[in-house]
Chains A and B, each alone.
Chain A
Amino acid sequence: MIEVEGLSKLYPTGRGRGVLALYDASFTARPGRIFGLLGPNGAGKTTTLRILSTVLRPTAGRARVLGHDVAEEPELVRRKIGFLSGSTGVYERMTAREMVEYFGRLYDMPEDRLQERVEELLDLLEARSFADRLCGRLSTGQRQKVSIARAIVHDPPVLIFDEPTSGLDILVARGVVDFVASLKGGDRTVLVSTHIMSEAERLCDDVAIIHGGIVLQTGPVEELKERAGKTTIEDLFFDVVRGAVDRASRAELPVAPEPAPEPGPEPDPGAGGAS
């Protein structure tokens, strides 16, 4: 279970300014289902997932993973999640097996259980043939398998995938999508971000459509499609995004009907209590 309420993230850029990467986002990812965070590049997907994986701290709002607040109990949250992004690297001077073991030990897994689990994962991912090769010598697909094994070595109840297929060739990407699909079920919560609608179609039970740092719509896929009268997620997505863009540009054109900020708190040029 992942609960996100009013989450905002402002990246300070110096000189008293900042970039508002995420604004007032709210959604819930439920166990036993796959939740998709859909949006174009730069929409705020990675920011959201990084906050959920406690790498970033939220500027405002809150997020809970299995009831643990990401800002207050980051260590507890990290124990419960497995995180994988498309741009994740591997340690080139370690073997695949060493790398998975390294992370298993960081999760404080008992040694015998770890060895058992490593063997299990090597079989599951068909990675036995290159298990003892240095990661620097592995192909992209093999590296991604190592990354997956690393992310799920502690069998986490919550899995977060940030564009897991970006940068992969089509065959490897297909394998990764299949694998993510196979994780569905039980009490496991899976959260996937992507801008590839075919992947979303295949994987997601629930989605949030995010654009420009704002969650435009969220809910079960079927419900949203029905409400919008669309048959595919792709159509739904463009419908929602276009609608938002239109509203924004309409508001932009005529300034007259809507008086700019109320006369009360008139922006003072010398603001900041200067004079």
Chain B
Amino acid sequence: MIDRRHVLHICRKELLDFVRDRRTLFVMIVLPVLLYPMLVIGLSWISRLQLQQLRERQLTIVVVGREHADRLVERLLEPERNLKLVGVADLPEHVRAAMNPGAPPAPAGSGDEDAPSELETLRDRYGAAISEDAAAAILLVPDRFEARVEEGENLEVEILFNEGVDASVEAKDRIDEAMVGFRDALVVERLARHDIEPSVLRPVALREVDLGGGLIVKIGRALSMLLVILSITGAFYPAVDTGAGEKERGTLETLLVSPAKRWEVALAKYLAVCVVALFTVVLNLASMGLTVAHLASMLPGEGEVRVDATVVFTMAIAMIPLVLLFVALALALSTQARSTKEANNYLTPLLLAASLPAMAPAIPGLELNEAICLVPVAGTALLIKELLAGTAHLSHVILIFAANTIYAAAALKWVASLYGREEVLLRLPSGGEPPPRTKRKKGGEAPVAGGGGGGWEMLDPEALATEPDAFARARANPAEIRKFLETALDRPGSTAPDLTHGLLLAAVVLVVTFYAGPALAGRLPASLGLLPIAAILTLVVVLGPVLVAMRVGRYKRPLEVLGLRRSPALSYLGAVLVAPGAIVTSLFLQQSTAGLFGAPAEADPGMNALVEQIGSALPLAWLCLALVPAVCEELLYRGFVQGAARRSVGPAAAILLSSVLFALNHGDVSKLPAYTFVGLVLGVIAFRAGGIGPTIVLHMLFNGLAVTLETYPDLIGKVGLPTAPGESISLLTIVVAEVLVVLGLGVALAAAGPAEEGPGPDGTPPAVPAEAG
């Protein structure tokens, strides 16, 4: 039971602590109040200033063949252009020297050379003038330009400029204006010669009327991304202060020995950070609203201002659960850190991860739909954009609110569980417990004689279980414990990959698949045939890195590291049963998610070519597309990665991790849920079976059956699967499939395998193996 008084009491104290901290106050109040106006004013001021400066500056341009363009020059010299015209001869000596004096500047337009060499010639001749800032642009007028134009010829005048130099672009724009005026005048003259009214050329015109807020909405959109990010960061500082800060200052332990329960402490801290973060959001919103309103009053021509109180209020409501979520995430990360510095290191990736979806409004064409509503930050950011544009739906507001509330609750649960874990709470900055891991030197000093040593060193709890007699004897005499530890420590096979190794290998495979895969595919002779090429690719990009890892890691028990252990026969039976069900389920998931992401599953042309080849050689297809990938991927994901992860985290986390990594290597985002599901099924079976034998069988059947179905389209219809895009899977098929999945998993789980070796990191006592020795 939660004591409400304790929670409120601790919460009040935390708030007092925040308020008395100037840094918190700064992040909370000063930053949002000042930031928006400063940003808007500052940015517009800077850009206006620069623009003005450029406008007012007189720009020098070189006109080659000036004598052929009197009327054009006249327009260029109009005072509002503010251009200074010079010839090549007027340029400073050193510039002319750099301009390749050997080749006399000839007017372009001869047009004999091919494009690249012409560009090179031009750059060679005139590039120096622009880069030396002697001229902003160079105009190349053809021979007898105006005379020929008078005669009715259509000619080109070339303008040389540098897109990377602001002044050069500005000069180009000014010349362009003069040119347009000149051209229009010519057109009018030519038409007059044929007695045609110039308006004939403009039978229709478009008049633009923007009913939205115009510029205001654009600025609001940019600010809304900032709003989301700032609101999230509003939680960071107080979370670090109350989580890692309390540990760092050495006050957490005092709180833990008070009658307040852990969960009360966690909740109180969470509430306190929420208050601060929400206050920051309100201030941010108010500041942003005022800034935009002020901006609107300064720009009267910009139409209606859409930022009214209701919109701001709805925005606030939509932000609340997102903030509650990030408060919990920030607090969870901060609680696990030993110091505030470490906490900040943890929070930086969180901010980066949040910034990416916060950019969603900037993605052209991306509109809020039900699927995006479920994506934590992106949904809220898009909603704010739509609220500002006045196109938001109430259903989206509700969905986003509900989804984020659920995420926030889960994250809060995480925080509470962290506060229940002593090893998290007692990660003290220094000198705390547990003692640092010390490398034991063989035959070195006895730990008892070690004096200031950290008590007993590494103890293999597995040994406690396997050698109960030795342990019992050791209890009688401390010296025996020493010996007992010696034997425990010298056990072979202690070097095995852990989570870091697993993640690293999975990342390497992902990168290799992405880069080396296509490169290699292009190099293999096409005469090999698509199927063998696919198999070779799998061997190289998946099995290759695994073998390299095994070689580099020099693990003591390689077979075990790869999950190559005997599994009970029942596991194999379960795997066979699951296979057909898993295909249907993954197809179903693919269909559902593809719909959600707004992109119907399209046929892959590469896949079609592959399917054609399969038709002629089904056994080869089973070998290349089913057996080889099954073996390679199981060795990697269920063997190495899942096993490695299991040495660092619990079984559920290890299985989930390997499944997601597996899914990530299987194509686009819309297929992620489907392949994660397949990965989970494989992971659970491999975990329970204690080896990857059954999952290789399942994986092979899965791929093989899928390949077979592709080859026999009439079969697809018979088993109730969709034969054309847009069709759905028959209900009966789905029911049968799910029954098979459940049945198969049941059989596989019932198989009593050596599922675990040693205890988990959570310190659960090891199960004494049934047949040791």
Contacts and interface: CB of A to CB of B under 8 A. Distances in A.
Contacts of B453: 42, 212
B260 interface: yes
B772 interface: yes
B422 A272 contact: no
B423 interface: yes
Interface stretch (B101-109, B168-176, B219-227, B753-761): B753-761
B542 to A, nearest CB: 26
A194 interface: no
Interface string A59-91: 100000000000000010011010101011111
Contacts of B251: 88-91
B533 interface: no
Interface residues of A, number: 82
B565 A274 contact: yes
Contact of B759 (A16, A102, A260): A16
Given A55-B426, A93-B21, A265-B772, A42 B446 contact: no
A271 interface: yes
B461 A10 contact: yes
Interface stretch (B359-367, B470-478, B709-717): B470-478
Contacts of A249: 446, 448-449
Interface in B230-267: 249-251, 253-254, 256-261
Contacts of A262: 469-470
A123 B36 CA distance: 52
Interface in A177-235: 211-214, 216
B462 interface: yes
B449 A245 contact: yes
Given A83-B254, A251-B479, A252-B483, A267 B6 contact: no
Nearest to B460: A17
B434 A11 contact: yes
A160 B257 CA distance: 11
B747 to A, nearest CB: 21
B439 interface: no
Nearest to B769: A273
Contacts, number: 246
Interface string A21-45: 1111000000000000000111110
Contact of A212 (B423, B455, B462, B565): B455
A251 B446 CA distance: 10
A264 interface: yes
Interface in A228-275: 244-245, 247-252, 260-262, 264-275
B605 interface: no
A152 to B, nearest CB: 12
Given A87-B250, A89-B251, A272-B754, A245 B435 contact: no
Interface stretch (A105-113, A125-133, A168-176): A105-113
A150 interface: yes
Contacts of B249: 89-92
B488 to A, nearest CB: 8
A10 B754 contact: no
B17 interface: yes
Contacts of A56: 422, 426
A88 B250 contact: yes
B454 A18 contact: no
B89 interface: no
Given A21-B434, A248-B482, A252-B482, A43 B455 contact: yes
Contact of A271 (B256, B448, B491): B491
A94 interface: yes
B16 to A, nearest CB: 7
B459 A42 contact: no
A78 B257 contact: yes
Given A92-B249, A260-B483, A269 B461 contact: no
Contact of A261 (B13, B459, B460, B470): B470
A259 B425 CA distance: 43
Contacts of B437: 13, 19
A42 B648 contact: no
B258 A12 contact: no
Contacts of A10: 459, 461, 763
Interface string B1-34: 0000110011001001100110000000000000
A12 B462 CA distance: 12
B566 interface: yes
Interface stretch (B286-294, B492-500, B589-597, B694-702): B492-500
Nearest to B438: A19
Contact of A272 (B16, B433, B757): B757
A193 B498 CA distance: 38
A53 interface: yes
A46 B21 CA distance: 32
B566 A275 contact: yes
A94 B16 contact: yes
B467 interface: yes
B478 to A, nearest CB: 5
Contacts of A88: 250-251, 253-254
Nearest to B264: A106
Contacts of B349: none
Nearest to A21: B455
Contacts of B256: 53-55
Contacts of A275: 565-566
Contacts of A248: 446, 448-449, 478-479, 482
Q: Which of B451, B463, B494 has the most CB of A within 10 A?
A: B451
Interface in B89-129: none
Given A19-B435, A57-B422, A94-B13, A274 B455 contact: no
A106 B431 CA distance: 28
12 contacts: A12-B762, A16-B647, A19-B457, A19-B459, A20-B455, A54-B257, A87-B250, A88-B250, A245-B446, A248-B448, A251-B479, A274-B754
Interface of A: 10-24, 40-44, 46-47, 50, 53-57, 59, 75, 78-79, 81, 83, 85, 87-94, 98, 102-103, 105-108, 134, 147, 150-151, 211-214, 216, 244-245, 247-252, 260-262, 264-275
Interface of B: 5-6, 9-10, 13, 16-17, 20-21, 249-251, 253-254, 256-261, 422-423, 425-426, 431, 433-435, 437, 446-463, 466-470, 475, 477-483, 487, 491-494, 496, 498, 557, 560, 565-566, 647-648, 754, 756-759, 761-763, 766, 769-773
Leading 5 A-B pairs by shortest Cβ distance: A89-B250, A16-B758, A273-B769, A251-B479, A11-B434
Given A11-B423, A260-B483, A260-B487, 17 more contacts: A10-B461, A15-B647, A16-B461, A18-B458, A54-B256, A91-B249, A91-B251, A134-B20, A212-B456, A212-B478, A244-B478, A251-B479, A251-B483, A261-B487, A266-B773, A271-B466, A275-B565
